[in-house]
Each structure stands twice: as structure tokens, then as C-alpha cells.
Structure 1
């Protein structure tokens, strides 16, 4: 078997203010772990004087060139290890927690919770070399018994533990793709099986009942009814911008958004009634005064005032949208697209809640 190793060379590029920027030139090109694109250049953030004027500046240049050469040697070693399948000690010593935290930046809030639980689990220190099957299995057991971050007297639910561990395994998959691990650790891990839970939702009559009930916080009422009419998650409603609205070819209103949870690009038609709930068009956020704290006790008080005794959370408005649409005859594929589900099987749960065939089957056997 023949191997062609990438050649790495320190090169210089003249920039402003009588300085030279040092960078590494890879030939052939290598994949950049940040962008996943093939690249030949890696700028080091190291600069030297283009025309050193004295001994001090010449010494500085030599010192910086030596640092660049040291980095070049480390990169060559890493590339050889990758090429020939050896363990890359440089990657093994890298900070896994820093990588985890960086991955959280463009993810939803659940990633932050998982990061904090893992941070607590490893007591604030963990390298890539520390992450192995045994550690991941112990973290699985930890999640099954750990207390909530905000309420230290309550354990997290089984379904929360399942979702957190699924997110953590997703991180491992990304790290494997980025070549931080030599094998996919997920192949040796069992997921935490979630419990089936009753999905609460409002009927169309109950939504109308809620709409007719005054709310002490107008923006909460508007955002809640908007969720019932669109199926959007609270994270997307909180981040909704006036710039996200557009006029479709049929002259109706649409939203063009990237969902917070799944990072899905979507164009979603909305009704004029839903658009009216947003108030006077402007710039920036649509529901500017909406806070996450409002969807707890203030929401419960409003539901109670409306005479609704079901255990309804803000996310239940999304369930309500799906169930109402399906009960009114909207096909499951369209509902799935409107909810930005990646798989129709996820939407099938709502179809099961209003399956008329099940009702027909239940009424077929009679003792009268």
C-alpha cells in the first residue's frame, strides 16, 4: 500500500504596516475541521517585521519563525498519524469541553443543559483522550439519576435524560466526523429509551375559548394564539423578526426562517389572522416584550381564567395546531412540512390522536 502524505511548508505574505503574515501551505489540500472545506492555507496569526531595523526586531522575527516551524512540525505529525492510522497525541490532549461549548453556540437551549450536566459530571476537566466508551456509559447512568439544574430537589425526567443523552451522542457523531475520534463511539452505546407520554392539546373550540378570554399580558396572548395558528416553537417565536415576513406569489403572507431547534430552512405560509396577531409592522423582533418567564405561571393563570383544566404548556399549542389541522382534513405530509419535521413518522403521532378509522373500529363491536 502506498501513502501520499501532505507536504506542509511555512510561507510568508506581505501585509500592511511593514509586516509579514506567516501561514502554512498544505499540498495536496487538507480538510479544514472548522468549515469541512478543502483548504491549502492555514494562517497562524503570527506576524514578523518585513524590514527589521535593529537586533531586537531581528530576534523577534527569529523567535516567531521558530514558533511557526514548531507548529508546522506538529501539523506534519498529525497528518502522518491520520494517514497511517496512528493515535494522534495532539488531538488526544485537546480540550473536549471547549469543543462541546463551541458546538453549543448555534444550537438550541437543550445543548446548553447537556453541556452543563456533562461539565458537572467530569468536574470541569475533560480531554478528547478521556472520552471513551466507559466514560460515556457512566454519563448515561449519571443522567438517569441527576437532579435538575434549576431545581436541585427534583430529578430530571426519564424523557429529559433520553433527550439529553441523544444530544450528547449527536455531539460524539459530529466529533467523529471532524476526525477528533478514530472510531464512532456511538456504535458501542445504548440509547436511553423514552417513555410514551400523553400529548396534551387544545381543540379548536378550546382555542376559540382561550382567544375570547382576556389576558393580563397582551403579548403572551398574541404569541400563544400565533403559536396555535402556525405551530411554531417558542424558540422561533422569541426570535421572530419582521424581516422574516414576505409576500408569496399568491399575495398571502409567508415566513422565511431557520428553525432554532433543527436549523431547518423553511418557507411557511401563514394566515392573515396570524399576521394580525403580530401587531404593527416594524423592525427587529416581532414579539419584543415576550419573555420565557411568561410561559410559566402567567400562562397557567390565563388558561385557568379561560376554564381550561388540561395540563397545557406553551409547547402544547404546537400540538394543538397539528391535531386541529389533521382533524380538519389537512394531509399528514403537508402538516409535517409546516411543522418542519424531518420525518413524516414524527407527525404520525398527531394523526394517531385523531384517527377516525380507530373510532370506526371501536364502534364495530356492540353488545346491543
Structure 2
């Protein structure tokens, strides 16, 4: 069934326009699924897969200690794969069509306060090319709300500095244009003029904006390690994720009165419901302020 998985990968990329990260995660989940079917159940023909086999696999994942989130993602990949096989007439039935993922509690993302963001950004030194790069990356993410994958894949041709804009291709290969504020623009320009030329290796230069010590694009993992280390130095004790600054960007815009639809556009969310999670974060802060400020809330009970 390996050739079917290869065809499915092509389908995800060329027809469904899925991101590289989605394709990788789906492929990994399906490789494990197909291995289980072949090695544990001796199933080598997709036509022989039934709903019961899929349920057995999900039970197997649970026994392995998979979290509800990981199992749900695996099921999404399996459902997508079987839908593909059915549409391509590789099977006459879709055994996954009636399977539903358990409803997961949406965990609110970690958001830094404005004071914490300023502490983080101000803690970044700018005395070496690498420090200038780090400062530019953090300022740019907080100024634009870029996903980390979009940040590390940003190229020089995506920068429209005269117009104070950057362009990026997000999920679903959809391009969007995002404004950039004057301060972040100043930090970015300094990096491009003073630091990037010292990091670039001409023979390896592919036009990526942010480079590592090998002259190639910095990785998502490296960015996250840098972010965690800088947060620690700034005395921030909250649990940091790669998208903490993106979440903070959106929440602070909402708290400042920015229209939710505009935030949706800047973040590149296809569905407004994805953006609405920031209203919960904003409401949560409102409750905290109310509890601390309202006279009745201050009374002991």
C-alpha cells in the first residue's frame, strides 16, 4: 500500500493545497496505520479494511499512551486517506466515513501581557549579527502575527519595506499581505544591512531572510529554543510555545479594539471561529480586571 500513500501525498499537495507540515504529519500517522494493518492484521489490500479494523487501531494507539489530541489527529489523517481512496475508486466503500473524533477541550493558548512582551523584546541584545537576527525575528512576529513556519520561510522578495508591508504564503498556499510598524521595520532594516551580510554564504544563499550559522534558513526548532532562552532571561515564567508571540499579537490587537475580521485576515485564518478563541482570552482578562477592581468583588464573603 506504499504506492497509495505516495499518491495520497501528491493529492494533498497538488489538489488540497495542504501545508508541508500537514503533509508530513498526515504521512507519518498513515505510515504507522498502514504498518499496523500489514504487520498486526495481515491486511495488504485497502478494500479489506473495515470500520472495525480502524477502531482496533485507535484502541491500539490508546494502549500505547497516545493523547486524545494525537489520536484525533491520526483519525483525521485516516478519514482523509480513506475518502481519497474512495473518490479515486481504489475502494468501493469508505470504512471511516461514520467515524467521529471525540470532542476535545480547546486549551486557551498562552498569551503574554504587554509588559511581558516588552520585557522579552527589550531583553534581546543587538551587539552581534546573531543577536540582531534574534531581535528582528521576535519584533517581526509580534508586529505581524506570522506563524513560525512563515517566519523561517520568509524570503527577501517577500519584504516590501518601502510600502511597510510583507507578504507571506500561509496554510492552503494562500498569500496575504501584512503591514509592519515603523519600530519593527527599523529593527528589520538594521538586521538586513548590518547582520545578514555577515551570516550569508553566497554559495548557499537562497534568499531566506533569517539565516543560521551555516548560511541556510533558520529552523522552527531553533527559533523556539531561542524564544525559550530569551523568555527565561526576561524572567517570564509562563509556559512558552513557538506561537506565543503570535497569540499575544492577536490578543493585544483585540484588546485595543481592532475588528475581529481584520485580525482574522492578518493571521490568515480561513474560519472566523479559529480567531474567536482570542475573544475568550480577552474576556478572561476582563473578568480578572473586574474581580480586582469592582467594589463588591473586593468584599470578603
TM value normalised by structure 2? 0.73
- Match status 1:267 vs 2:177: yes
Inter-partner Cα distance in structure 1 for 2:8 and 2:187? 38
Q: Which runs of 5+ in 1 are unaligned?
A: 1-92, 147-154
Compare CA radii of gyration and give the structure with the larger one: 1
* Offset, 1:131: 4.2
C-alpha distance in 2, partners of 1:165/1:349? 24
Q: 2:215: which partner in 1?
A: none
CA contact (8 A) 1:132 1:185 kept: yes
Q: Residue 50 of structure 1 corresponds to which residue in structure 2? A: none
Q: Deviations over 1:300-357 (max 9, x none)?
A: 2211110101011221111111111101111111111111111111111111111277
Question: With CA pairs under 8 Å and 6+ residues apart, which has the higher RCO, 1 or 2?
Answer: 2
Distance 1:192 1:228 in 2: 34
CA contact (8 A) 1:111 1:167 kept: no
Counterparts of 1:130-169 in structure 2, within 5 Å, are: 130-146=48-64, 155-169=65-79
State the secondary structure of the residue aligned to 2:97.
Answer: helix
2:130 counterpart of 1:222: no
Whether 1:238 and 2:152 are equivalent positions in the alignment is yes
Does structure 2 retain, via aligned residues, the 8 Å contact 1:159–1:195?
Answer: no
Structure 2 CA distance for partners of 1:169 and 1:221, relative to 1, 3 Å: farther
Partner Cα distance (2:50, 2:24) in 1: 22
Tell me the equivalent position of 1:115: 27
Deviations 1:209-235 (A, max 9, x none): 111113595233422232111111111
**Partner of residue 165, structure 2:** 254
Alignment match of 1:284 (pick from 207, 227, 243): 207
In structure 2, distance between residues paired with 1:234 and 1:268 = 15
Equivalents in 2 of 1:101, 1:107: separation in Å? 11
Provide closer, same or farther for how the CA distance between residues 136 and 270 of structure 1 changes in structure 2, counting only shifts above 3 A. farther
Map 1:1-368 → 2, pairs under 5 A? 95-103=3-11, 107-123=19-35, 126-146=44-64, 155-214=65-124, 217-218=130-131, 219-246=133-160, 252-259=163-170, 261-278=171-188, 279-280=191-192, 284-289=207-212, 290-355=218-283, 363=294, 366=297, 368=299
Task: State the alpha-carbon separation in 1 of the partners of residues 63 and 174 from structure 2.
Answer: 33
TM-score, normalised relative to structure 1: 0.61
Greater share of helix: 2
Q: Tell me whether 128-137 or 299-308 shows the greater mean CA deviation.
A: 128-137
Q: Distance in 1 between matches of 2:145 and 2:104?
A: 23
Unaligned runs of at least 5 residues, structure 2: 39-43, 197-205, 213-217
Counterparts in 2 of 1:237 and 1:109: CA distance versus 1, 3 Å: same
Q: Once the 2 structures are TM-superposed, how far is the Cα of residue 186 of structure 1 from its aligned partner? A: 4.2
Shift in alpha-carbon separation, 1:360–1:133, aligned structure 2, 3 A: same
Aligned length, in residue pairs:
264
CA distance in 1, matches of 2:192, 2:289: 47
